[in-house]
A and B are shown apart, each in its own frame.
Chain A
């Protein structure tokens, strides 16, 4: 592969460094109402070929996080802090021209809505070949052959004909396959998939998730799968980071997160999902209230106002990221689920009938964990 000169590809790159090392990044937006702290200090590392699931509700900062890492946000009125080390090179300081050598070639992205992420007035073939010409200096014939191969690799029937078609001639699922083909065109080492299946039906969603997984294995590509659906990440990720109010509140290997969660928000999120395995009319354990305003977030723990474990300390002191004693598992909570401190906090709240933040707590609720 003859790549055009990659700015900084020689300098600063360390093949032994983790593929992606994100250090305390913050992304704040200046608005008329005040500064929105959309991402407020997130750190993680991602090794080659691994999959990280980023889970959170709307407004938790999960999409801003991936855009911020890729440098896709506008410069105006956006405050970015922290480091994004890609193979040891800090890409957060690169300008748009320098990033252009990284976008598509090294890291690429699949967005939620396949209708709007394709150019409606450009043939599909041209949209795929664009990056092949730019990054790989391919000849016309090579680009054509590669584009056909790419479309068949994402299971699009009659790829030769599709190259001559426009996005509106394809269904939503087929469009998302085209978007994936474009994202994979130059063999990136890191793929961001931001709610890649939210706009699709369940049977098509399963097809697309299988496709992403298969392509990832074949190409030994790392993936960051951003979603609001815990079901989507459960079977398809190595690690999961749960986000709330711009922070990672818990991160753990996937199996651990589901079996030995520590953060009350993770627990509450799981309990609020209707499950197919539960009998019909099972009462759901809803989380009261709603996520905090990111302009004036509450002092102390951001989840405390909705937390049934909350004590006075949670309202004043912001819990740091703590180690759960197992590799890769950490959380932000003083009274974690499944520990004596957590059980004691819940028992105290149940005795008082409410948590320190005023969430009603009954004895029945305290028995759940």
Chain B
């Protein structure tokens, strides 16, 4: 799967964000070795769409999200936002684009300054960009806090430690919304939250997406969460793109052996579903410092052949909006995921 290729990209005019042949590498100390965090991947997002990036830890999903934000700039590749290639902009020009792209992080408590009041935290972007002054700032802050379900009168003067994790995530969302961004990159926004609170935040993100006409990149390891929020899902493994598809198709008919294994590993809250032991994947993710040749998944793939070690599979179309990077994709309906079993 370790796929590269750009066949799954849509015409440039139709997309808000388009990352092409993105590569991010980090040096390992002074050894001269490199961590190949993201290797030659391409993905795009239409305006108003939610793209789900899913994969296990170390697959490069967060690095991809950050590379889109130019945090840090990718080692190679381009990121077109609204037709402008962000990788070629000067720092000053890039800064002018930043208000349109915001980010929400995994740990809501540590992403808020503990010494500042909530109203100041949420209002700061407005002051930095001189979007409003005085009472106007308060009005926008109050309105935004109210939209995310925080009572501005009670909360504005308090500090982050006085709120629960779920409430802090609401405050982070409010802070990302005050500048009316076009795009929000959500990096594991609910994985630090309890299930009952997780549902509140997922519903809130859907509501805010509608209210603010947002485009979302939603990064998560939980496939059920990603399926719930996304219009299009991209599965990643060890710095490569495996499969891109609309969520319902992806879950009903996974074509990539890794997607199928990932779906088969998820514990389903229904005791009547028999656990298929053979569907669980053996072994662990290889080191990104020396990734396998050819398809990066071949070391754990039940279908791997010599060809997979030599030739890297390219993205190719197998259905409407459904693309896979695999030499030997699974044929349509595979009985491996619970959704296929039903």
A residues sitting closer than 8 Å to B (CB atoms) are 57-58, 171, 173-174, 201-207, 209-210, 228-232, 234-236, 254-255, 258, 268-270, 272-288, 290
Report yes or no: A276 in contact with B339, Cβ–Cβ below 8 A.
Answer: yes
Given A205, A206, A272, A280, which contacts B199 in the complex, CB threshold below 8 Å? Answer: A272
Pick 20 A–B contacts, CB within 8 A, sort by A: A57-B196, A203-B262, A203-B280, A204-B284, A207-B280, A210-B275, A210-B280, A258-B270, A272-B195, A272-B196, A273-B269, A276-B266, A277-B268, A280-B231, A280-B248, A281-B228, A286-B202, A287-B196, A290-B164, A290-B196
Give the chain B neighbours of A270 by CB distance below 8 A. Answer: 269
Report yes or no: B271 in contact with A258, Cβ–Cβ below 8 A.
Answer: yes
Give the chain B neighbours of A171 by CB distance below 8 A. Answer: 284
Residue from A174, A272, A276 whose CB has the most chain B CB atoms within 10 Å: A276
Known: A203-B261, A203-B280, A276-B251. A286 touches B194 (CB 8 A): no
Given B166, B196, B199, B269, which contacts A234 in the complex, CB threshold below 8 Å? Answer: B269
Report yes or no: B228 in contact with A274, Cβ–Cβ below 8 A.
Answer: yes
Query: What range describes how many residues of B lie at the interface?
Result: 35 or more
Give the chain B neighbours of A230 by CB distance below 8 A. Answer: 195, 269
Report yes or no: B57 in contact with A201, Cβ–Cβ below 8 A.
Answer: yes
B317 adjacent to chain A (CB < 8 Å):
no
Q: 1/0 per position for B152-177, CB-CB distance to A under 8 A? A: 00000000000010100000000000
Majority-rule SS of A interface residues: loop
Residue of A nearest to B266 (CB): A202
B230 adjacent to chain A (CB < 8 Å):
yes
Residue of A nearest to B337 (CB): A276
B75 adjacent to chain A (CB < 8 Å):
no
Give the chain B neighbours of A276 by CB distance below 8 A. Answer: 223-224, 227, 251, 263, 266, 268, 337-339
Residue of B nearest to A199 (CB): B57
Residue of B nearest to A253 (CB): B271
Give the chain B neighbours of A205 by CB distance below 8 A. Answer: 265, 267
Residue of B nearest to A231 (CB): B267
The distance from the CB of A51 to the nearest CB of chain B, in whole angstroms, is 12
Given B195, B203, B223, B342, which contacts A269 in the complex, CB threshold below 8 Å? Answer: B195
The distance from the CB of B195 to the nearest CB of chain A, in whole angstroms, is 6
The distance from the CB of A55 to the nearest CB of chain B, in whole angstroms, is 10
How many angstroms from the CA of A173 to the CA of B266 in the assembled complex? 16
Report yes or no: A277 in contact with B338, Cβ–Cβ below 8 A.
Answer: yes
Give the chain A neighbours of B282 by CB distance below 8 A. Answer: 207
Report yes or no: B277 in contact with A202, Cβ–Cβ below 8 A.
Answer: no
Given A58, A234, A268, which contacts B267 in the complex, CB threshold below 8 Å? Answer: A234
Give the chain B neighbours of A278 by CB distance below 8 A. Answer: 227-228
Report yes or no: B271 in contact with A284, Cβ–Cβ below 8 A.
Answer: no
B150 adjacent to chain A (CB < 8 Å):
no
